Amino acid sequence: MKTIDKTKPVLVTGATGYVAGWIVKKLLDQGITVHAAVRQPDNEKKIAHLKKMAKEAKTAIKFFKADLLTKGAYTEAMQGCELVYHTASPFVIDVKDPQKDLIEPAEKGTQNVLESANKVTTVKRVVVTSSCAAIYTDCTDCAKAPNGVLTEEIWNTTASLDYRPYSYSKTLAEKKAWEIAESQNRWDLVTINPCLVMGPPPNPHATTSESFNILRQLGDGTMKLGVPKLGMGVVDVRDVAEAHLRAGYIPEAKGRYITAGHNTDFLEMGLVLQPKFGKQFPIPNNPIPKWLLMIVGPFANKLFTHDVIRNNVNVAWKADNSKIKKELGMSFLPLQKTMEDGFQVLVDEGILKAK
């Protein structure tokens, strides 16, 4: 149990990110000074929105240059912090070299950040942004889980370097985090494990997150012929940020927290957008049959392998979010609001154009 002093600065790694942007905003709005660790502190396109947030909140933000793979890179940014949010990790699905592009920054990067926490004696708590990907790979894993539902007790045992390496990277990174946390007793570790995050991107013209690509593709015609009814969980980015705040500042916060608002699927994510945007944008409203996907899927998208289709299409995704509701008092925004608010930003910013 740790009590964090709100007058002390807080480190956010990967502050330029989609999820991190909302964490930074919530911290600044509460008057908490943010140490923002980013790869390119001189790149205005990447950080202007964070500076604007700080100005609006009248709270200080200080930028530090840090790369996950540079040893000790986060030590300076951590000075004086009692609380560290480690969000930085690549969230990309289509990579050339999974070891170099995903596993190393995720696992070695986590090790790097936590080794700095071991050195900087002010640190009392580290909140790592893990993922439901560290719990499951495919929807068929839900069916195999006790009572057919994912819980914090479960670890991903099915992802590998060759099969869904992003999920593998998050599993290795979270395991590394627990290993390092358990080897000392000054700071405690809490992990936030979100499912697919949707909702408004804080910096839509420079977002690298795969969440952004998925949202854009729901409206740019890529999926106009239909989408696979692919089971997944969805959570609002603003709720994910709130979960991080509570995980940081509630003294009793402990262990892993599945952060999932809705057990849903890809088709429903499009359908909830239909009432507001369906007339103007080519949003998918019908499922592509599984048999058809088995034939055309691997040609249309190399990530749609037969195994991925077999294990996820028309298979329900179910996770138990009761721990975070009970222990951190979280509630979740409706799916329709999350999808509409995110889509609206892409429309307002001219990223999606009406037909």
Binding interface with ligand NAP (CB under 6 A): 14, 16-20, 38-40, 46, 67-69, 87-91, 105, 129, 131, 170, 194, 196-197, 207-209, 211
Q: Which of residues 46 and 125 has its CB atom nearest to ligand NAP in the complex?
A: 46
Q: Residue 74 in contact with residue 66, Cβ under 8 Å?
A: yes
Distance in Å, CB of 207 to ligand NAP, minimum? 6
Q: Which of residues 69 and 292 has its CB atom nearest to ligand NAP in the complex?
A: 69
Distance in Å, CB of 112 to ligand NAP, minimum? 9
- Residue 129 bridge partners (DSSP): 192
Q: Which of residues 50 and 282 has its CB atom nearest to ligand NAP in the complex?
A: 50
Distance in Å, CB of 340 to ligand NAP, minimum? 18
Distance in Å, CB of 290 to ligand NAP, minimum? 24
Q: Residue 8 in contact with residue 70, Cβ under 8 Å?
A: no
- Say which DSSP state 204 is in: G
- Identify the helix (H) or strand (E) that includes residue 211: helix 210-217
Distance in Å, CB of 42 to ligand NAP, minimum? 12
Residues with Cβ < 8 Å from 296, sequence gap 6 or more? none
Q: Which of residues 116 and 209 has its CB atom nearest to ligand NAP in the complex?
A: 209
Q: What residue is closest to ligand NAP based on CB?
A: 17
Q: In what side-by-side order are the strands of the sheet with 255-259?
A: 61-65, 34-38, 10-13, 83-86, 125-129, 188-194, 255-259
Q: Which of residues 68 and 351 has its CB atom nearest to ligand NAP in the complex?
A: 68
- Identify the helix (H) or strand (E) that includes residue 270: helix 266-271
Distance in Å, CB of 101 to ligand NAP, minimum? 9
Task: Output phi, psi for 352, to 5 deg.
Answer: -110, 130
Distance in Å, CB of 285 to ligand NAP, minimum? 23
Q: Which of residues 14 and 228 has its CB atom nearest to ligand NAP in the complex?
A: 14
Query: How many Cα neighbours within 13 Å face the side chain of 355?
Result: 11
d(CA 142, CA 135): 10
Nearest Cα to 208, choosing from 338, 22, 12, 14?
14
Parallel/antiparallel/unpaired status of strands 10-13 and 34-38? parallel
Q: Which of residues 208 and 285 has its CB atom nearest to ligand NAP in the complex?
A: 208
Residues with Cβ < 8 Å from 92, sequence gap 6 or more? 101, 102, 166, 208, 210
Distance in Å, CB of 9 to ligand NAP, minimum? 18
Q: Which of residues 197 and 272 has its CB atom nearest to ligand NAP in the complex?
A: 197
